[in-house]
Amino acid sequence: MGAVRMRVQTIMSLVIHVCHLNRKFTRLPHLAGSQQNLDLAKQIRDEWMEFGLDSVELVPYDVLLSYPNKTNPNYISIVDHLGTEIFNTSLAEPVPEGYEDVTDIVPPYSAFSAKGQPEDELVYVNYGRTEDFFKLERELGINCSGKIVIARYGKIFRGNKVKNAMLAGAKGIVLFSDPADYCADGVEPYPDGWNLPGGGAQRGNVLNLNGAGDPLTPGYPAKEYTYRSSLEDAVGLPKIPVHPIGYHDAVHLLHKVRMNIHTNNQVTRIYNVIGWIRGAVEPDRYVILGGHRDAWVFGGIDPVSGAAVVHENVRAAGKLMKKGWRPRRTLIFASWDAEEFGLLGSTEWAEDHARVLQERAVAYINADSAIEGMYTLRVDCTPSLHTLVYDITKKVSSPEEGEEGMTLYQSWHKRDNSTERDAPWISKLGSGSDFEAYFIRLGIASGRARYTKNRKTERYSSYPVYHSVYETYEIVERFYDPSFRRLEAVARVRGGLIFSLADSPVLPLDCVEYAMSLTKYANSIYQLALKHPAAMQQHSVSFDSLFFAVENFTVVARDFHQRLDQLDTSNALAVRMVNDQLMYLERAFTDPLGLPGRPFYRHIIFAPSSHNKYAGESFPGIYDALFDIENAVDWQKAWDEVKRQISIAAFTVNAAAETLKPVVS
Amino acid sequence: MGAVRMRVQTIMSLVIHVCHLNRKFTRLPHLAGSQQNLDLAKQIRDEWMEFGLDSVELVPYDVLLSYPNKTNPNYISIVDHLGTEIFNTSLAEPVPEGYEDVTDIVPPYSAFSAKGQPEDELVYVNYGRTEDFFKLERELGINCSGKIVIARYGKIFRGNKVKNAMLAGAKGIVLFSDPADYCADGVEPYPDGWNLPGGGAQRGNVLNLNGAGDPLTPGYPAKEYTYRSSLEDAVGLPKIPVHPIGYHDAVHLLHKVRMNIHTNNQVTRIYNVIGWIRGAVEPDRYVILGGHRDAWVFGGIDPVSGAAVVHENVRAAGKLMKKGWRPRRTLIFASWDAEEFGLLGSTEWAEDHARVLQERAVAYINADSAIEGMYTLRVDCTPSLHTLVYDITKKVSSPEEGEEGMTLYQSWHKRDNSTERDAPWISKLGSGSDFEAYFIRLGIASGRARYTKNRKTERYSSYPVYHSVYETYEIVERFYDPSFRRLEAVARVRGGLIFSLADSPVLPLDCVEYAMSLTKYANSIYQLALKHPAAMQQHSVSFDSLFFAVENFTVVARDFHQRLDQLDTSNALAVRMVNDQLMYLERAFTDPLGLPGRPFYRHIIFAPSSHNKYAGESFPGIYDALFDIENAVDWQKAWDEVKRQISIAAFTVNAAAETLKPVVS
**CB-CB neighbors (< 8 A) of B282 in chain A:** 573, 577
Looking at the predicted structure, is the pLDDT value of residue B336 above 50?
A: yes
Question: What is the bridge-based pairing of β-strands B606-609 and B282-292?
Answer: unpaired
Amino acid identity at B257: V
Beta strand spans in A295-413 (E): 329-336, 361-366, 376-381
Cβ separation B593–A599 shorter than 8 A:
yes
Spell out the alpha helix ranges (H) of A505-593.
511-529, 533-538, 544-565, 572-588
Residue B276 sits at the chain A interface (C-beta within 8 Å): yes
Minimum distance, in Å, between the CA of residue A322 and any CA atom of chain B? 19
Beta strand spans in B293-375 (E): 329-336, 361-366
Q: Is B213 exposed, middle or buried (0-12, 13-18, 19+ CB in 10 A)?
A: buried
**Chain A contacts in chain B segment 50-69 (CB below 8 A):** 54-55, 57
φ, ψ of residue A50 to 5 degrees: the values are -60, -40
Cβ separation A227–B643 shorter than 8 A:
yes
Summary count for chain B: helices (H), strands (E): 21, 19
**CB-CB neighbors (< 8 A) of B281 in chain A:** 573
Angle between helices B304-322 and B2-12 (to 10 degrees): 120
H or E stretch at A412: helix A408-415
Query: What's the CA gap between A148 and B68, in Å, rounded?
Result: 62
C-alpha gyration radius of chain B: 25
Handedness of CA A505, A509, A515, A518 (dihedral sign): negative
Minimum distance, in Å, between the CA of residue A511 and any CA atom of chain B? 17
Q: Please, are residues A259 and A243 in contact by the beta-carbon 8 Å criterion?
A: yes
φ, ψ of residue B194 to 5 degrees: the values are -110, 15
- Residue A23 — very low, low, confident or very high, per pLDDT cuts 50/70/90? confident
Looking at the predicted structure, is the pLDDT value of residue B6 above 60?
A: no
Left if phi > 0, otherwise alpha if psi is -120 to 50, otherwise beta: which for B158?
A: alpha
Q: Which of B229, B272, B359, B360 to mutate to test the interface with A (most CBs of A within 10 A)?
A: B359
| Predicted local distance difference test score (pLDDT) of residue A254 | 72
Minimum distance, in Å, between the CA of residue B262 and any CA atom of chain A? 29
φ, ψ of residue A366 to 5 degrees: the values are -90, 145
Residue A551 sits at the chain B interface (C-beta within 8 Å): no
In 3D space, the residue among A621, A640, A436 whose CA is nearest the CA of residue A535 turns out to be A640
Angle between helices A544-565 and A635-660 (to 10 degrees): 10
Give the rounded percent of residues in chain A with a pLDDT score beyond 70. 97
**CB-CB neighbors (< 8 A) of A353 in chain B:** 655, 658
Q: Is B456 exposed, middle or buried (0-12, 13-18, 19+ CB in 10 A)?
A: exposed
Beta strand spans in B109-195 (E): 110-111, 119-120, 122-124, 148-152, 172-176
Q: Summarize the confidence of residues B514-529 as an average pLDDT.
A: 98
Looking at the predicted structure, is the pLDDT value of residue A3 above 50?
A: no
Cβ separation A573–B577 shorter than 8 A:
no
Cβ atoms within 10 Å of A659's Cβ, excluding its own? 26
Residue A458 sits at the chain B interface (C-beta within 8 Å): no
Cβ separation A330–B663 shorter than 8 A:
yes
Q: Summarize the confidence of residues A178-192 as an average pLDDT.
A: 96
Q: Which residues does residue B380 pair with via DSSP β-bridges, in sequence order?
A: B427, B448
Q: Summarize the confidence of residues A287-303 as an average pLDDT.
A: 97
Q: Which of A651, A653, A654 to mutate to test the interface with B (most CBs of B within 10 A)?
A: A651
Q: What angle do CA B356, B497, B516 make, to 5 degrees?
A: 90
| Predicted local distance difference test score (pLDDT) of residue B253 | 85
Minimum distance, in Å, between the CA of residue A1 and any CA atom of chain B? 20
| Predicted local distance difference test score (pLDDT) of residue A195 | 97
| Predicted local distance difference test score (pLDDT) of residue B588 | 98
Q: Please, are residues B137 and B97 in contact by the beta-carbon 8 Å criterion?
A: no
Residue B102 sits at the chain A interface (C-beta within 8 Å): no
Query: What's the CA gap between A628 and A611, in Å, rounded?
Result: 12
Cβ separation B665–A592 shorter than 8 A:
no
Of A13, A483, A524, A542, the catalytic one is: A542
| Predicted local distance difference test score (pLDDT) of residue B8 | 54
Query: What's the CA gap between B258 and B85, in Å, rounded?
Result: 8
Minimum distance, in Å, between the CA of residue B57 and any CA atom of chain A? 9
Partner-chain residue, chosen from A573, A640, A643, that has the shortest CB–CB distance to B281: A573
In 3D space, the residue among B616, B598, B597 whose CA is nearest the CA of residue B606 turns out to be B616
Amino acid identity at B126: N
User: Is residue A168 classed as helix, strand or coil in its secondary structure?
Assistant: coil
Partner-chain residue, chosen from A220, A572, A658, that has the shortest CB–CB distance to B355: A658
| Predicted local distance difference test score (pLDDT) of residue B573 | 96
Residue B539 sits at the chain A interface (C-beta within 8 Å): no
Amino acid identity at B431: S
pLDDT one-digit tens code per residue, A324-344: 999 999 999 999 999 999 999
Query: What's the CA gap between B179 and A539, in Å, rounded?
Result: 54
Q: Summarize the confidence of residues A245-273 as an average pLDDT.
A: 93
Q: Which residue has the higher pLDDT, B20 or A233?
A: A233
In 3D space, the residue among A164, A217, A220, A212 whose CA is nearest the CA of residue A594 turns out to be A212
User: Is residue B75 classed as helix, strand or coil in its secondary structure?
Assistant: strand
Cβ-Cβ contacts under 8 Å between A and B: the total is 136
Residue B46 sits at the chain A interface (C-beta within 8 Å): no
Minimum distance, in Å, between the CA of residue B645 and any CA atom of chain A? 8
Partner-chain residue, chosen from A221, A284, A545, that has the shortest CB–CB distance to B577: A284
Minimum distance, in Å, between the CA of residue A164 and any CA atom of chain B? 28
Q: What angle do CA A468, A470, A471 make, to 5 degrees?
A: 80
For B540-559, letters b (16+ CB in 10 Å) and e give: ebebebbbebbbbbbebbee
Residue A221 sits at the chain B interface (C-beta within 8 Å): yes
Residue A328 sits at the chain B interface (C-beta within 8 Å): no
Looking at the predicted structure, is the pLDDT value of residue A2 above 50?
A: no
Q: Which of A53, A54, A227 to mutate to test the interface with B (most CBs of B within 10 A)?
A: A227
Q: Which of B573, B579, B639 to mutate to test the interface with A (most CBs of A within 10 A)?
A: B573
pLDDT one-digit tens code per residue, B175-226: 999 999 999 999 999 999 999 999 999 999 999 999 999 999 999 999 999 9
User: Is residue A643 classed as helix, strand or coil in its secondary structure?
Assistant: helix
C-alpha gyration radius of chain A: 25
Q: Summarize the confidence of residues B276-299 as an average pLDDT.
A: 98
How far lies A279's CA from each of A329, A357, A491, B358, in Å? 4, 15, 22, 25
Strand order in A122-124's β-sheet?
Answer: A122-124, A148-152, A172-176, A242-245
| Predicted local distance difference test score (pLDDT) of residue A10 | 55
Omega before B303 within 30 of 0, i.e. cis:
yes
Q: Please, are residues A246 and A201 in contact by the beta-carbon 8 Å criterion?
A: yes
Please give the DSSP secondary-structure letter assigned to residue A185.
Answer: T
In 3D space, the residue among A251, A258, A248, A256 whose CA is nearest the CA of residue A90 turns out to be A248
A477-485: Cβ within 8 A, 24+ apart: A477/A19, A477/A22, A477/A23, A479/A193, A479/A194, A479/A374, A480/A194, A480/A301, A480/A371, A480/A373, A480/A374, A481/A371, A481/A374, A481/A399, A481/A451, A483/A399, A484/A18, A484/A19, A484/A22, A485/A399
Q: 3-state DSSP helix/strand/coil percent for chain B, to nearest 5? A: 40, 20, 45
| Predicted local distance difference test score (pLDDT) of residue A184 | 95
Mean pLDDT of chain B: 95
Alpha carbon A342 to its chain centroid, in Å, reads: 10
Cβ separation B647–A284 shorter than 8 A:
no
B580 counts as catalytic: yes
Q: Please, are residues A488 and A16 in contact by the beta-carbon 8 Å criterion?
A: yes
Q: What angle do CA B645, B647, B648 make, to 5 degrees?
A: 65
pLDDT one-digit tens code per residue, B560-608: 999 999 999 999 999 999 999 999 999 999 999 999 999 999 999 999 9
Query: What's the CA gap between A632 and B427, in Å, rounded?
Result: 52
Query: What's the CA gap between A409 and A392, in Å, rounded?
Result: 8
In 3D space, the residue among A353, A375, A373 whose CA is nearest the CA of residue A364 turns out to be A353
Residue A219 sits at the chain B interface (C-beta within 8 Å): yes
| Predicted local distance difference test score (pLDDT) of residue B399 | 96
**Chain A contacts in chain B segment 329-368 (CB below 8 A):** 330, 352-356, 359-360
Query: What's the CA gap between B56 and A665, in Å, rounded?
Result: 8
B339 counts as catalytic: yes
pLDDT one-digit tens code per residue, A458-499: 999 999 999 999 999 999 999 999 999 999 999 999 999 999
Look at A226-230, B13-17, B31-35, B259-263 and tell me which has the smallest mean pLDDT: B13-17
Minimum distance, in Å, between the CA of residue B553 and any CA atom of chain A? 15
**Chain B contacts in chain A segment 280-299 (CB below 8 A):** 281-284
ipTM at complex level: 0.94
Q: Please, are residues B287 and B11 in contact by the beta-carbon 8 Å criterion?
A: no
Q: Is B414 exposed, middle or buried (0-12, 13-18, 19+ CB in 10 A)?
A: middle
How far lies A376's CA from each of A305, A310, B20, in Å? 16, 20, 76
Q: Please, are residues B367 and B290 in contact by the beta-carbon 8 Å criterion?
A: yes
Task: Write the DSSP string, B577-597.
Answer: HHHHHHHHHHHHTB-TT-BTT
By C-alpha distance, the chain B residue nearest A644 is B227
| Predicted local distance difference test score (pLDDT) of residue B14 | 56
Alpha carbon A376 to its chain centroid, in Å, reads: 19
pTM above 0.90, yes or no: yes
Left if phi > 0, otherwise alpha if psi is -120 to 50, otherwise beta: which for A483?
A: alpha
Partner-chain residue, chosen from B356, B544, B664, that has the shortest CB–CB distance to A54: B664
| Predicted local distance difference test score (pLDDT) of residue B2 | 41
Cβ separation A576–B576 shorter than 8 A:
yes
